[in-house]
Structure 1
Amino acid sequence: MANHNFKVVLLGEGCVGKTSLVLRYIENTFNANNSSTVQASFLTKKLNIDGERINLAIWDTAGQEQFHALGPLYYRNSNGAVLVYDITNESSFPKVKSWVKELRKMLGADVNLVIVGNKTDLEKERHVNFEEAENYAKAVGALHFQTSAKLNEGIEDVFLALAKKMLELEEQQQLNKTQSLERQNSQRRNVVVVEDDEITVPQSKSCCGHS
């Protein structure tokens, strides 16, 4: 059974519930009075998917503006990112879009993205249109989930889906690497070195009949 280590970073504006999400997922606890995260904290979770052991290292980052410049220190080498917005806070959604652009620029197209609309327990106060968020996620190749850390809804699905995506990508990358090596070896075997003076050798003495 293989071991897979994946780094996941949680990003989003302050007070959207990133810490509540990750604490609900890791410890199954919820504290409505969670204070704002002022730096990054690091939590781990072990999963088993179809016999594959997965170790998730989840970085919970602060959402304040002054933290933004430190972001790259935390999301460098990430395999996946969970981008959280608050469905009751309209301005938290554009922040997700800016994070998507930044992650793609810094980490390339291979980073697996999940966009999460949190606080569905406050559905009556929704200010972010579900269809708009859904369509945006599809457009950037991200998964989209709605969660409530308070009610423990949808959170397992977020991290399970992300883990599966990261696993699939890693397996695809390994396959591509193997195929690339096989192609290189095959090309090496087919290379025939021709010395300049061989051009003058009569055809009858050519060594073409030998492999």
Structure 2
Amino acid sequence: MSRQFQFKLVLLGESAVGKSSLVLRFVKDQFDDYRESTIGAAFLTQTVQLDDATTIRFEIWDTAGQERYKSLAPMYYRNANCAVVVYDITQSASLEKARSWIRELQRQADPSIIIALCGNKTDLSSRRQVTQEEAQKYAEEENLMWCEASAKTGEGVQDVFMAIAKKLPLSAPQSQKGAAAARGGSTGASGGARGVDLNKQTAAPDGCNC
């Protein structure tokens, strides 16, 4: 019997690190060199097939990185099941910004949220300022998933989201809100799904590196 699950995923990070480009590559397998900055947040959906009988549907909130929109971020990561915090491997300051987003998630998001730290723009490795060792060490210290990818070439992008899908707990939601979502209700920025299940589930955690 086919099983379908729905989870809320939010992307966070400094402006111009490539959050929207990663999502566009994941959802539509496209890349735009001249993509405009996100205003507020953008909403997209995409599904991944874990196996022949299990499908994960991501409700993706791609947030703006500009400082003037930061106050809106809690609206989008509230009740999120998972988050991808993106930095640019060619800009060391973007990793520091990613650290601040991760601290905020650790303080204010759901304690069970799965956080992936993702270094984007590996196609520009000749201009690298953030080493793999530095980022991976930080991720291990904070118990985060870690990976690198290139939205431009597509390298590693599917791996990021597939690794998250494999780590999500496929268990029945406990809250009344989660149960309502499990019956098929869609959720907005302020009410993420807590593991939407259309059948009986079993837990299926995976490793924490892409």
On whether the aligned pair clears a TM of 0.5, the verdict is: yes
Q: Which amino acid aligns with 2:21?
A: S
Secondary structure of the structure 1 residue equivalent to 2:154: coil
Secondary structure of the structure 2 residue equivalent to 1:82: strand
Match of 2:198 in 1: none
Pairwise mapping of residues 58-137 of structure 1 onto structure 2 (< 5 A)?
58-137=60-139
Q: TM-score, normalised by structure 1?
A: 0.78
Which is richer in helix?
Answer: 1
1:173 to partner: Cα distance: 7.6
The answer to whether 1:144 aligns with 2:146 is: yes
Deviations 1:83-127 (A, max 9, x none): 000001110001111111111111243100111100011101001
Q: Percent identity?
A: 45
| Contact 2:92/2:130 (8 A) holds in 1 | yes
The answer to whether 1:17 aligns with 2:6 is: no
Q: Which amino acid aligns with 1:63?
A: G
Q: Distance in 2 between matches of 1:92 and 1:68?
A: 15
| Rg comparison, structure with higher value | 1
Match of 1:194 in 2: none
- Where structure 2 has 5 or more consecutive residues not aligned to the other structure, the ranges are 175-210
Q: Distance in 2 between matches of 1:172 and 1:140?
A: 27
- Larger relative contact order (Cα-Cα within 8 Å, sequence gap ≥ 6): 2
Match of 1:31 in 2: 32
The answer to whether 1:155 aligns with 2:157 is: yes
1:171 to partner: Cα distance: 3.0
Let me know the Cα RMSD of the aligned residues. Answer: 1.4
Q: Which amino acid aligns with 1:171?
A: S
Q: TM-score, normalised by structure 2?
A: 0.79
The change in CA–CA distance for 1:45 and 1:76 in structure 2 (over 3 A counts) is same
- Where structure 1 has 5 or more consecutive residues not aligned to the other structure, the ranges are 175-211
Match of 1:42 in 2: 43
Q: Distance in 2 between matches of 1:39 and 1:173?
A: 29
Match of 1:182 in 2: none
Moved more, 46-55 or 75-84: 46-55
